[in-house]
């Protein structure tokens, strides 16, 4: 099971592309509101009705963090989100972040001694990381990706991590991704 955390100001493409592709791979996915309302508005004024509120979530296999401003700072400011992420990753569970969202992982010390990628200009936020130039990269239990334009690559990398290369290729082929 995968939880995608949404805060007001999230990047819509990065969140919804991942949800769509993972569901195509038959992975259970929940859009999770970290706000006080089940409806969360992205940074391009697209309002999304989430599947669950943060307090309703249970333990999951992976937490996905979309980028977007002010979505990322809103997640960082949420003490409950940061506490959950810290416990989740310390227990060896998987986390994925795209665009500016790897900054959140840097804040928690999760990027130390891993290869990671982020939106250009946010590299200093990835404290202790070896900066990659790949579209999406997984190191240990952390998957990161560059930006909105790499949302498909990010999605396929997550599918590969959770269900293997064959599952990722099956989804790629089904949508004619080149």
Q: For residues 48-67, b (16+ Cβ closer than 10 Å) or e, as one string?
A: bebbeebeebeebebbbbbb
Sign of CA dihedral 58, 140, 26, 33: positive
Is there a domain that residue 34 lies in?
yes
CATH number for the domain including 71? 3.40.50.880
> How many domains, in total, are found in the chain?
1
Structural domain containing residue 149: 2-168
Is there a domain that residue 9 lies in?
yes
Mean of pLDDT values over 171-177: 97
Helix (H, G, I), strand (E, B) or coil at 15: helix
Question: What confidence score (pLDDT) does residue 67 get?
Answer: 98
Is there a domain that residue 51 lies in?
yes
Hey, what are 107's tokens? 């804040």
Over the stretch 84-127, which tens digit does the pLDDT of each residue have? Answer: 999 999 999 999 999 999 999 999 999 999 999 999 999 999 99
Does this model's pTM top 0.95? My answer is yes
Is there a domain that residue 18 lies in?
yes
Share of the chain above pLDDT 70, in %: 100
Is there a domain that residue 177 lies in?
no
Is there a domain that residue 176 lies in?
no
Residue whose pair of structure tokens reads 């943060």 in the numeric block:
54
The sheet with strand 52-53 has its strands ordered as 52-53, 29-33, 2-6, 62-65, 94-98, 142-145, 136-139
Q: How confident is the model at residue 31 (pLDDT cuts 50, 70, 90)?
A: very high
Q: How confident is the model at residue 168 (pLDDT cuts 50, 70, 90)?
A: very high
Is there a domain that residue 133 lies in?
yes
Q: How confident is the model at residue 24 (pLDDT cuts 50, 70, 90)?
A: very high
Is there a domain that residue 22 lies in?
yes
């Amino acid at each position: 099971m995968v939880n995608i955390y949404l805060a007001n100001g999230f990047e819509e493409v990065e969140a919804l592309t991942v949800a769509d592709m993972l569901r195509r791979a038959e992975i259970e996915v929940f859009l999770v509101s970290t706000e006080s309302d089940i409806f969360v508005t992205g940074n391009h004024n697209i309002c999304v009705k989430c599947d669950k509120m943060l307090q309703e979530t249970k333990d999951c296999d992976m937490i996905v963090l979309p980028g977007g401003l002010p979505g990322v700072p809103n997640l960082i400011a949420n003490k409950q989100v940061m506490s959950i992420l810290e416990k989740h990753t310390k227990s060896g569970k998987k986390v994925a972040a795209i665009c500016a969202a790897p900054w959140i992982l840097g804040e928690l010390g999760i990027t130390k001694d891993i290869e990671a990628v982020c939106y250009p200009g946010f590299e200093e936020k990835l404290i202790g990381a070896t900066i990659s130039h790949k579209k999406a990269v997984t190191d240990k239990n952390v998957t990161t990706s560059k930006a909105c334009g790499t949302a498909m690559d990010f999605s396929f990398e997550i599918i590969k991590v959770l269900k293997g290369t064959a599952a990722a290729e099956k989804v790629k082929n089904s949508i004619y991704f080149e």
